[in-house]
Amino acid sequence: MPLAALQREFLAAMQGGGGIEARVRDTGRPPAAAIRVAIYRNAVRANQRGALAAAFPVVEQLVGTAFFNEAADQCLARHPSTSGDLHDLGAALPGFLGEYSPAAALPYLGDLALLEWALDRAFHAADGTPITVAALADVPADALDRLVLVPAPGCALIESPWPILALWRAHQPGGALPDDFSLDQGGETVAVYREGFECVAEALDPARAALLSVSLAGRPLASALDAPAFASTPDPGGLLMTAMGGVIGAGMMAGTRLRDVVE
């Protein structure tokens, strides 16, 4: 058998398919080889579960290990990883949990997993050097409408109708939900970024959220003025400068560039 075909069969066996295991059993030979394949598959599955539990510790706390492992297995069976890096394994889990019927009683679970995944990605992102407001001094005044702020590696924005940051913080060491907490208290828009080796999750006001959103999309910062937060204020330019100082001061931005075409 060609090596590539053998590797495909072995991969299918590791992902729960028949593959080599079924073919070995069909030969009528002693089952030792099939047993060894099953042992290897169980070890792979345990490593995958461990990697996902490390990336989604709060989700695991909320649902319990048995529930989490079953959900992880179901997710990987439906969305097998195409990467050899275990750190990439959890990309599909937030979306999967959002549609996973056994988790219907926890409608915020998918968004909470999305927050944890963003924190994991930020931790493993490449290093970047945050800019300061002084970096904008050299931008010509007639080019400000083309100025794009470039987010730091791993920076992300999660918008949820649920108070996911409060839930996440409550499950950190020493954390607890506020006495007046309610799932119906409204959603949160959360920025995730890294300060040195520390990952930060921070709730953003609408102005900073709009600015970070356009920056992540590679659009000029002036396009944030179309957001409701700016349209409803008598001084949108002043609010934009305040928001810009906020995201830059927090270390969310790692550079600037100018778009060739004005939006």
Domain ends where: 106, 138, 169? 106
**Tally of domains in the chain:** 2
* DSSP reduced 3-state for 256: strand
Q: 115 and 75 share a domain?
A: no
Q: 101 and 129 share a domain?
A: no
pLDDT of residue 7: 65
The C-alpha atoms of residue 257 and residue 146 are separated, in whole angstroms, by: 8
pLDDT of residue 10: 63
The C-alpha atoms of residue 164 and residue 58 are separated, in whole angstroms, by: 11
Domain ends where: 73, 91, 106? 106
pLDDT of residue 161: 96
Q: 253 and 242 share a domain?
A: yes
Q: 6 and 76 share a domain?
A: yes
Domain ends where: 106, 128, 155? 106
The vertex-96 CA angle with 81 and 57, nearest 5°, equals: 80
- The one-digit pLDDT tens for each residue of the chain (263 residues) are 676 765 666 666 666 655 565 555 555 555 666 667 777 677 778 888 999 999 999 999 999 999 999 999 999 889 888 887 888 889 999 999 999 999 999 999 999 999 999 999 999 999 989 999 888 887 887 787 899 999 999 999 999 999 999 999 999 999 898 888 889 888 999 999 999 889 999 999 999 999 999 999 999 988 999 999 998 899 998 999 999 999 999 999 999 998 875 44
Q: 243 and 123 share a domain?
A: yes
Q: 93 and 127 share a domain?
A: no
pLDDT of residue 86: 81
The C-alpha atoms of residue 156 and residue 192 are separated, in whole angstroms, by: 5
Q: In the 8-state DSSP scheme, what is residue 91?
A: T
Of 236, 185, 184, 178, nearest to 210 (Cα)?
Answer: 236
The C-alpha atoms of residue 104 and residue 97 are separated, in whole angstroms, by: 9
Of 43, 127, 58, nearest to 90 (Cα)?
Answer: 58
Q: 147 and 21 share a domain?
A: no
Q: 117 and 220 share a domain?
A: yes
234, amino acid identity: P
Q: Domain range for residue 188?
A: 107-263
Q: 230 and 157 share a domain?
A: yes
Are 84 and 124 a contacting pair, CB within 8 Å?
A: no
Q: 74 and 154 share a domain?
A: no
Q: 238 and 141 share a domain?
A: yes
pTM value? 0.85
H or E, element range at 73: helix 65-78
